[in-house]
Structure 1
Amino acid sequence: MHTLSTVVPGLVWAYHIDPTTGTARRLPADVETSALDVASGFLWLHLNISDTRVSGFLEGFPGLTEAARAALTTHDTHAALSVDDQMFYGTLVDFQRNFDSATRDIGWLHFALSDRFIITSRLQPIRSIDLLRAAVEKNPAKFTGPMHVFETLVAEFQRGIISLVLELTDELNVIEDIVYDHETRDERRRLAPVRRIIVRLHRHLRIMLALMRRTAAADDDEMPAGFEDVAQRLTNRLDAADQDVYALHERARLLHEEIDSKLSSETNRHLYILSLMTAFLLPPSLVTGFFGMNTSNLPFTEGTGGSMLALGFITGSILLAWLLLRRTGIL
């Protein structure tokens, strides 16, 4: 397949999978391009595109179209799927992975496959690709071709979504118990990151489903062998996952509306109390304002008992305000 004897740049790992013998042989990290010429089975190459030499290596890789090379080295952050000349390529959404655990951060995995190879590339470590590698090493006999490797990759992504849905469900359960408690607490700050994850995941799933359906509707001459059946199974998987995510989306939205409703009710109650206090204090304020004027001939300025009479006016005004509020149904 290759004429140059150079080390494969940006290589994370490489496997030679032979369905006839049911084995998967991991190639050494310093494998040369000349060693990628296999007589039977197919190759799986996983590359790190942060190495700038990957583009040059892919230009010399036989069987790759120009569009497939561009798909493997792109830095675009949106899903894409295409079939062309018996080749399937594009970009998948997935979760990034740390050294010891998966994260909730969205990552992007690029791929291209034909009947003789599957090449995957990424910038950050991806959760599903590590699980796929473990599956290849554990049971290589079940991988009959590159399309089966791709199907398992997307299936691992769907399992990751299910795990995340369960985690987010537990978080929503805790928030829900607090929201529907008798005490009013603002849980919007805690709910916001959960809603953000759900909305992003739902958006990417809808895009992947639309792309999968559009690609499955391409001409049969352009499709790799077995793609139509694989696309149908993966569409069913992703659609089921999207329904679970959408159910979470609706639940989180209702929780947000309930929080807003309770906070609005609490604000209205505070405003009601302040309005009552204003209604009770306004008449006494008018009385004290009247007797506080520095004008001549004010009543009760001569003789004794003027302060008590003024106090009586204040009390009477408060009682009059109370009667009016009771009569109008405000109290």
Structure 2
Amino acid sequence: MLSIVQSIPGLVWAYTFDQEQRSCRRLPPDATRADLSFVGNGFRWLHLNLADQRVAAFLEEFPELPSAVVSALTTHETHASITLEDGMIYGTLVDFQREFDEETRDIGWLHFAVCDNLLITTRLQPLRSIDRVRAAVEKNPARYRQPIDIFELIVAEFQRTLISLVIELTEELNQIEDVVYGATTQDERRRLAPVRRTVVRLHRHLRTVLTLLRRAAAADDDEMPHGFDDVAGRLTSRLEAVDHDVYALQDRARLLHEEIDSKLSSETNRHLYILSLMTAFLLPPSLVTGFFGMNTSALPFSDGEHGTALAFGLMALSVFGAWWLLKRAGIL
């Protein structure tokens, strides 16, 4: 029995689905707990904001939710997890945060629990994929006959978000690549670094979700919710296709970074080569001026009228001698 307290803490939205009518009804923002008690031949979907500290106490009042599920729904841990137990599936999925006026590439976390007639999702920050799930549910509610169908849609929307990010990152890499392989040499590592960081995080979290789905699909049949086996197969195929694209993007970014390092290293070597040649040409004249700058007696050309000119001639001759030696050695 739910508490007699009427408010639903942290409510972002709530839907009740009627399987017979194949429709859904969104509860008003001021919905009470009593509105959740009538389901008929359908199920409920609650989406809650964990910023409200009362959410944990509210979820504990659901008799169908074990303590482990409540803990998974209210945790602030930042790693993906999927657990199957007694016909329920719960855990944490990765998503991307959304600001009020724009979508970001910051990682966010969606906690979920799927029961026979109940789906609960919780989050701390607004997320990109879950909003599109809500819009799809409202557009065609007849497609979703059980909570596992919405779970599949959540992961599918995450996959579509990954595809859009891959397209964005590919365009950024194209622009960087045009500069790197252009005629001029520019240091594009500052632009490339955030792209590589995003791709690495995408690949890491995507591989984790794939591994979790494969492990869940290999669980005993009595541990799975009805229909999860087929859902896991479809979602694994979807995510594997995106994983291939993300891996290719990661490899491409790594090669670009190596090319930038190679070009910058070549440019640095060229500058050092020029400085070495300048040093080689200036060292002999420096020896000449050092010799004639000694305050000793009987220096050559000290008594003649053209001593300075002869000293300059020796300096020029030393430069020519240095050039001849470098040319003979094959350095020039």
Q: What range is the shorter-chain TM-score in?
A: over 0.9
2:18 alignment partner in structure 1: 18
Residue 96 of structure 1 contacts residue 127 of structure 1 at CA under 8 Å; is this kept in 2? yes
Once residues 41 and 19 of structure 2 are traced to their aligned partners in structure 1, the CA distance between those partners, rounded to angstroms, is: 9
Residue 184 of structure 1 contacts residue 263 of structure 1 at CA under 8 Å; is this kept in 2? yes
* Segment drifting more, 174-183 vs 304-313: 304-313
1:313 alignment partner in structure 2: 314
Give the gaps of 5 or more residues in structure 1: none
Once residues 53 and 149 of structure 2 are traced to their aligned partners in structure 1, the CA distance between those partners, rounded to angstroms, is: 29
Q: Deviations over 1:208-251 (max 9, x none)?
A: 11111112222221111111111111111111111111111111
Structure 1 pair 3–275 and aligned structure 2 pair: CA distance change class (3 A) = closer
1:130 alignment partner in structure 2: 131
Which one-letter code corresponds to 2:30 in the other structure?
D
Once residues 132 and 227 of structure 1 are traced to their aligned partners in structure 2, the CA distance between those partners, rounded to angstroms, is: 18
Residue 3 of structure 2 contacts residue 61 of structure 2 at CA under 8 Å; is this kept in 1? no
Q: Deviations over 1:16-60 (max 9, x none)?
A: 012221101011222222221212100000000111111111111
Q: Deviations over 1:265-306 (max 9, x none)?
A: 111110000000000010110011001000111111112221
| Residue 210 (structure 2) pairs with residue 205 (structure 1) | no
Once residues 79 and 208 of structure 2 are traced to their aligned partners in structure 1, the CA distance between those partners, rounded to angstroms, is: 9
1:31 alignment partner in structure 2: 31
Secondary structure, aligned partner of 1:221: helix
TM-score by length of 2: 0.97
Which one-letter code corresponds to 2:22 in the other structure?
G
Secondary structure, aligned partner of 1:24: strand
Within 5 Å, give how 1:120-199 maps onto structure 2: 120-199=121-200
2:238 alignment partner in structure 1: 237
Residue 2 of structure 1 contacts residue 36 of structure 1 at CA under 8 Å; is this kept in 2? no
1:303 alignment partner in structure 2: 304
Secondary structure, aligned partner of 1:266: helix
Residue 2 of structure 2 contacts residue 62 of structure 2 at CA under 8 Å; is this kept in 1? yes
Q: Deviations over 1:123-157 (max 9, x none)?
A: 10111111011111100000011000000011011
1:189 deviates by 0.6
Residue 5 of structure 1 contacts residue 34 of structure 1 at CA under 8 Å; is this kept in 2? no
Give the gaps of 5 or more residues in structure 2: none
Which one-letter code corresponds to 2:278 in the other structure?
M
2:46 alignment partner in structure 1: 45
Residue 72 of structure 1 contacts residue 111 of structure 1 at CA under 8 Å; is this kept in 2? yes
Once residues 102 and 303 of structure 1 are traced to their aligned partners in structure 2, the CA distance between those partners, rounded to angstroms, is: 84
Once residues 123 and 293 of structure 2 are traced to their aligned partners in structure 1, the CA distance between those partners, rounded to angstroms, is: 80
1:9 deviates by 1.0
Residue 94 of structure 1 contacts residue 108 of structure 1 at CA under 8 Å; is this kept in 2? yes
1:117 deviates by 0.8
User: Alignment RMSD, CA only?
Assistant: 1.1
Residue 18 of structure 2 contacts residue 40 of structure 2 at CA under 8 Å; is this kept in 1? no
TM-score by length of 1: 0.98
| Matched pairs, number | 331
1:216 alignment partner in structure 2: 217
1:3 deviates by 5.4
Once residues 268 and 103 of structure 2 are traced to their aligned partners in structure 1, the CA distance between those partners, rounded to angstroms, is: 41
Which one-letter code corresponds to 1:128 in the other structure?
S
